[in-house]
Each structure stands twice: as structure tokens, then as C-alpha cells.
Amino acid sequence: MLTKAERRAGLWARAAESLRSLLRGARLGPRRPLALHLLTDPPSAALARGTLRQLTQHHDGPYQVIFHDVNELTEKLFPLVESMQKHFSAGSGTYYSDSIFFLSVAMHRIMPKEISRIIQLDLDLKHMTNIRELFEEFDNFSEGNVIGIAREMQPVYRHTFWQFRQENPKTRVGDPPPDGLPGFNSGVMLLDLEAMRQSQLYNQLLEPARVQQLTEKYHFRGHLGDQDFFTMIGMEHPELFHVLDCTWNRQLCTWWNDHGYSDVFDAYFRCDGQVKIYHGNCNTPIPED
């Protein structure tokens, strides 16, 4: 998603670098085009077209770029996610424009039926391997899985679930891996749209009454959009999620290390293995090649 790019030079520079790293390593095989879906407003779309022409000069594989108008998508999303925005948005009310931060939650209902699987990526990523390898993670989904997502690598949800944890001292909710449930980070997500369409359980969890029930049970009040929703339902129904290895979303932000959780921070932040995607969340610098 890229909007207001003409007024946010730093954002676009980072987005262009992310796309460059993705295209540099993307090799999908013969007659398998890389399809890039970009959510933009008209001025940003014009800027993106020019930049992509430059970036794709050295990409020898077939590709296609599909532009989606962010305002049109927001219009479709709003009635589907309005009820959950008050629980998982930074604002005190329910804002129309916030709907786009819940795109992944209802992607299966607004994307064309012929799109059965899609990878949703933040634009503060640096890709270190062929994106095809990530797409192949769909093959590792178990029965009932609808979304592939990596764990959150900071004690964000240890903090958010503090009241539930206090009332349930033996809970794994908010604890670090490997035995705890630290929540999810939505920077890299595999959405099996067809499985999401077919899952009665998942669609029941989108209903306002069910969202209200779970937020009350967990005393949950978040501000991170889709990530909060997936984290909360993941505490209740982990079978909906295929957990990606941390190397597919190696988050670099260390904010919580300096804000009250230094004693436990490393248990969340540790990630062993060869990094496949760096995530420079909270504007953290990404290592050079």
C-alpha cells in the first residue's frame, strides 16, 4: 500500500528499495509471471509506474503490475470491518480511512474469486531470497490453516494482555516463544483466500458479536489494525494459522527494549537462521548487503 507518496519522499524511497530487492531475486519459473498488486491513490500510482519502469529494466522474468485504488477498496472494506475498528485502531472512534489497515482481514471477500492465494507485504521490507520460496510456504499449511504469519518479536502483547495475564497467571498468552503465545506481526502474510472463503470458523470470527465477546474476554484494546485482530483470534484458535519462521519476517525494531521490558526482551527478539526478509519496522535501519 502506497498513498500520498508525492508528499512522503522518505516513504517512497524506502518502498522503491523494497521493491528493488524483491525484483532482484524473484525467479518464478517459465511462464509464471510475478504479479504485483499495489494499493495506491492516483498521484502515487503515476509515481509508482515511473519507478517500476526503472526497477524492472534488469528483471528478466515476466511480471505484471495491478493497481488498486485505495479509496475504492476502502469503500468496500468499511462495512465489513467497521465494528472491529474501535477495538484495534489508534483513534478513539471508528474512522472510515482506518478500514484499509484491516484489508487482510476481509481480503477474501473483496478480491476477485479467481485469485486464490496472495502474499501481503509491508513496504519497509528487504528481500534476501527468491519470493517464490515464500509462496511455497503455502504447501506447508495444515488442514484448517487459512493464514501464514510470523510471530511478533517484541513483548508488545505481553503489554497489551497485561490484565488478562494478571487474572490468569498460568496463561501462555503474551509469553515468549517457543512455548508462549507472543502474538503475530503482519508485515509478511500468506493469505489463502480460498481457504478463508471456505472456513466457517474464520468467517464467524468476523461477526461483530464474536469480536466483542473476545475483546471482553481478553480485555483487549489495540491500535495495530489487522495484526491485533489476528493476534487475538490466534490466542483462541491457533489452528487457523501457519506460523512462519522468524527468518521470513526478521523484525528489527527494539522500541520495547527501552520501554520497560529489557529484562525479557531478548526472549522475544532472538531469531536464529539465515534471514530471508528483513523488516525495518518503526523506521529501523535495515542492514546493507
pLDDT of residue 7: 83
Per run of 10 residues, the mean pLDDT along the chain (length 289 residues) is 84 91 89 91 90 81 90 93 88 66 96 96 96 97 98 98 98 97 98 98 97 97 94 98 98 97 98 98 91
Q: What is the pLDDT of residue 141?
A: 98
Q: Which CATH topology does 81-283 take?
A: Spore Coat Polysaccharide Biosynthesis Protein SpsA; Chain A (3.90.550)
Peptide bond into 178 cis (omega under 30): yes
63-118 tens-digit pLDDT:
899 999 999 999 999 999 988 988 998 765 555 568 999 999 999 999 999 999 99
Q: Which amino acid, 114?
A: E
pLDDT value, residue 58: 67
**Short-list 208, 211, 207, CA closest to 233:** 211
**pTM of the predicted structure, to 2 decimals:** 0.95
Q: One-letter amino acid identity for 33?
A: P
- The residue extents of the domains of the chain are 81-283
- Residue 32: the pLDDT is 85
